Every structure is written in structure tokens, then in C-alpha cells.
A and B are shown apart, each in its own frame.
Chain A
Amino acid sequence: MSAREDEFLEYVQSGGQVETTDWMPDDYRAKLIKFIEMHGNSELMGVLPEREWILRAPTLQRKLALTAKVQDEVGHSQLIYRVVSDLGKPREHCLDDLISGKSKFHNVFHYPTKTWGDVGVIAWLVDAAAIISQKALLKCSYAPYARIMKKICWEESFHILHGRDVILTMMNGTDAQRELVQEALDRWWGPLMQFHGNPIPAEDDPMYIWRIKSQGNGEARQQFLDGYVPQIWELGLTVSDPKLRKNDDGVWEFSEPDWDELKHVVTGHGPKTEERLGLRRTTRGETEWVRRVVLPEAA
């Protein structure tokens, strides 16, 4: 590492923030692009499991709320790709790499949504897990990313309220509805526990070293458990992990998440990966002519 790079590292590690036009090491730029692009991809791919349920939402209010939520996710991806584009990778390239399978997206968006219970669990718990990661990005060393995260976290917090309300309504409903929620929670618990990633120590995590993230994976998972397991129990739901408990020192104990599954899924082998990328490929192909007409540079 050159003296200039050392100085940069010291600067970000002491809380310094970088703007688009500032000098930055190539490795930092590459890590930023990879990390932020995956976030943009995840927002966009996160639309697909939920979009099917806009059409099936059981009341007008739920339909409006879910449509607005999914719209927010697309809006987030739009903002995030803009940040990536300023770092040197245009949005169209990101989308090409997404559909070709070259770039990745979060594990939770590779799974099917089977019932309206899944819709509630996604909006409540998947978004809760995501907001924990996103709040840790408010202090990101790359200032433009940190700035848009404020808006994103603000909107995500509404999604959690919406999700919680969907779940509460069902838990206060019939036995059949409570069963839908419990089954959905059982399906999502594994992916939720994998969501924050391998428990590598923060100091070995390149994204932490560069202060792109401000906390380690294990820490984020603990925060999720601490914030949400008590609420899950309070609603009368059970978590399908017999080892799950909070120790006297305040640390949550749990069964080791299935890291092989996580790796398998995020490398493009999830139960819905191919179908969802396929849908994106097809529709991108079918609307190619529109971009050619509208964007002179695409002609």
C-alpha cells in the first residue's frame, strides 16, 4: 500500500468521509462499486417476490400500501444505481451484469413467496433485517451513499410498520390466518439468520476496513435478534430454532445458520433465482426497442 493509500485508510478509519470527486484508491472504488451495486440489485430483485402480491392483496388499503412499498424499492434502486454510476459504472451495465448472473443480490430475494403470510413476514422481518444493515451505512465513508441512505432508512421504517400491521391483523384473525403467519416465519427463519452474512470478525472484513460498513456481520445479527425475537414471541409465534435464547450476558445464542445454503443461493442457485432473472431478461429484451427509441445513446 502506498503512503497515499495509507493516509486515505487512516482518514476513513478515523471517521472521515469521501466525496465523488475526491481521490480514492482503486481498491476502495472497486469495493464500493461491488457493495453498492449489490445493494441496488437487491432493491430491484426484491420487487419481484412482492409484485405478484400487489395483484392479490386482499383489501384496497393493503393493495395501495404494498404498491407504494414496492414502488419505494424501485426508487431506492434508482438512487443507488445513480451512486454506482457516479463511481464509474453506468446503470445499464449494472442491469446487464445482473441479468447475466455476473453480479449478485441478497439471499432473501432468491426464495418464493407462497402465501400472504410471506408478504407480511418479508415486509416486517426481511425489511427489519435490511434496515439494520442500512442504518450501519449512514456512517459510510463514502458520503454520497451515506446521504441517500437517510431517505432509504426513513422509507424502510414505514415498510416495517406496514409489515407488522399485516402480521398483527392476521395474528388477531382466525386460526387459519395464524397458521399462515407461522408457516411463513418457519420458511423465512433460515434465510433471515443468514441475511447478515458469515460471522467474520469486523477487522477482517474489507468492507469494514474501508469503513464502507460500520459494523460486523455478527453484530448486525445480534441486533436483529434483540430487536425482533421478543416481538415475535409476544405475538404468540414460535421460532423454529430450539437453541435460540438470550444469555445472561445479553448475547443471543442460536443454531449455526446454514452457510452452505447461503453461498449456494447467492451464487445464483436459489429456488427462484433462475425464474426471476429469466423474467427480467425476457422483459428487458421485450422493451429494448423502447430504450432505443428514447435514449439516443442506446440507438
Chain B
Amino acid sequence: MVSTVLRRVSARAEPLLPIADDELILGWRNSEWTGIAPFLEEDVAFSSIAQNEIGHARAIYQLVAEELGTTADELAFDRKPEDYRCSPFVELRLVPDWAKTIARHCLYEDADQRRIQELIEADDPEVAGLAAKIDREEVYHRMHAQMWFERLEDEPQFQEALEELRPLVDQRGEHLPEFEHLWQEMTEVRRSVAGATW
């Protein structure tokens, strides 16, 4: 278990872990749409977005893991639920509500753009380089979110979803009750055979 290590993360890891955790968990949530989205095209699109997000999480974990003497997989899977720093906003289980899913997608991409920009401007060249690389993919997520925003903006249920979710964007702290279930599922195989390689 890497929990003990993580209680004292480095100054460099401090702002990065919440981002990686958000990307991992949102990637996880987005992949829940696989096979059941309103259009086959959206199955494919959300799957791409999920893969990018999980890829970003992995890249950030790798950077942090080198400092903490652990691995990206251990950071992603072997922490206790309370050690994850993702926001409740990304933990929400929204399938099969498309209005809320798109609302979160729009709000998240917007907030994510701001914090990635801060990293791009950071003094740490390795972090800035990685952030720039991540941002190149996020551009497409933002275009996808924007396209859906324009399609749904006149729909009352979409507006309601935006109103409901907007206050949660910057919330941090306590995990939602459903995070425990997500964690159980996410780590199920890994926990099933102790010390195994998969």
C-alpha cells in the first residue's frame, strides 16, 4: 500500500495528484457510456475521451511516481479510497443521464483548461511540457463539449443540469458515497490475487 508515502507528498506532486485523480475517475465514468450512448458515434467519441483522460492520468502519475518511489499503477489502484484527491464532481455516476453527462463534460473541460494553463506557465519545465502535451488533446475534448453545448442549450433539462452541477465544479474534500463503490470495482481484479502481475 502506498498510502503512508502519500501522506507526505512532495511540493511538486501536491497540485498534480488531484488533476491525475480527476482524469482517472472521470475517464472511468466516461467509459461507462461505452456501448450505451445515444449514438454509436458518441460511444466512439466518449471512448476516445476516456482513453485520453486515462492516458493523461497515467502520464501525471508517472511523473509523480518517480518522486515518490512508486509506480503509476500503484498510484492509480493501490491507494486507500481516502487517499484519492479527486473532486466529488467527477465521482458522480451520471449514466444514463445524457443531459447531466454533457453538462459535466462542458463544465469540467472549462475548469480543466484553466488549471492546465497554469501548469503550462509553471516554472517546472517537465510539468509545463507535459501540460502542453495534455492540452493538445484537450482541445478536441473542448470542441466536442462545445458542439454538444450548442445542440442542447435550448433544452430545459440541459439547463437544469448545468445549474445543478455548476456549484460542484470547484468542490474538494469528502468523497461521495458512490466513490467507495467505484473504488471497489476499479481495484477488484487487482486485489483478488495479492502481489500478482496483470
Using a CB–CB cutoff of 8 Å, the interface residues on chain A facing chain B are 44, 47-48, 51, 54-60, 62-64, 67-68, 70-71, 74-75, 77-78, 81, 91, 115-116, 166, 169-170, 172-174, 176-177, 180, 279-280, 282-283, 286-287, 289-291, 293-294
Contacts of A63 in B (CB 8 A): 54
Contact B32–A58 (Cβ < 8 Å):
no
Contact A74–B34 (Cβ < 8 Å):
yes
Interface segment out of the listed B4-12, B112-120, B181-189 = B181-189
Cα(A282)–Cα(B96), bound, Å: 9
Asked if B13 is an interface residue, CB under 8 A from chain A, the answer is no
Contact B96–A47 (Cβ < 8 Å):
no
Cα(A68)–Cα(B47), bound, Å: 7
Asked if B190 is an interface residue, CB under 8 A from chain A, the answer is yes
Contact B185–A177 (Cβ < 8 Å):
no
Name A's interface SS. helix
Q: How far is the CB of B27 from chain A (nearest CB, A)?
A: 8
Cα(A68)–Cα(B57), bound, Å: 16
Contact B35–A74 (Cβ < 8 Å):
yes
Contact A60–B76 (Cβ < 8 Å):
yes
Cα(A280)–Cα(B96), bound, Å: 11
Contacts of A51 in B (CB 8 A): 31, 34-36
Across chains A and B, which 3 residue pairs bring their CB atoms closest together, nearest first? A47-B35, A287-B38, A71-B47
Cα(A257)–Cα(B58), bound, Å: 44
Q: Given A57-B189, A74-B40, A293-B151, A287 and B96 touching (CB < 8 A)? A: yes
Asked if B193 is an interface residue, CB under 8 A from chain A, the answer is yes
Contact A64–B55 (Cβ < 8 Å):
yes
Closest to B55 in A: A64
**Supplied contacts A67-B31, A174-B193, 13 more A-B pairs, CB within 8 Å:** A44-B40, A51-B31, A60-B61, A60-B72, A67-B47, A70-B34, A70-B47, A71-B47, A74-B34, A78-B40, A283-B36, A287-B37, A293-B151
Cα(A168)–Cα(B35), bound, Å: 28
Asked if B152 is an interface residue, CB under 8 A from chain A, the answer is yes
Of A57, A67, A286, A291, the residue contacting B34 (CB under 8 A) is A67
Contacts of B98 in A (CB 8 A): 286-287, 289-290
Contact B28–A55 (Cβ < 8 Å):
yes
Cα(A174)–Cα(B197), bound, Å: 9
Which residue of A51, A81, A169 has the most chain B CB atoms within 10 A of its CB atom? Answer: A51
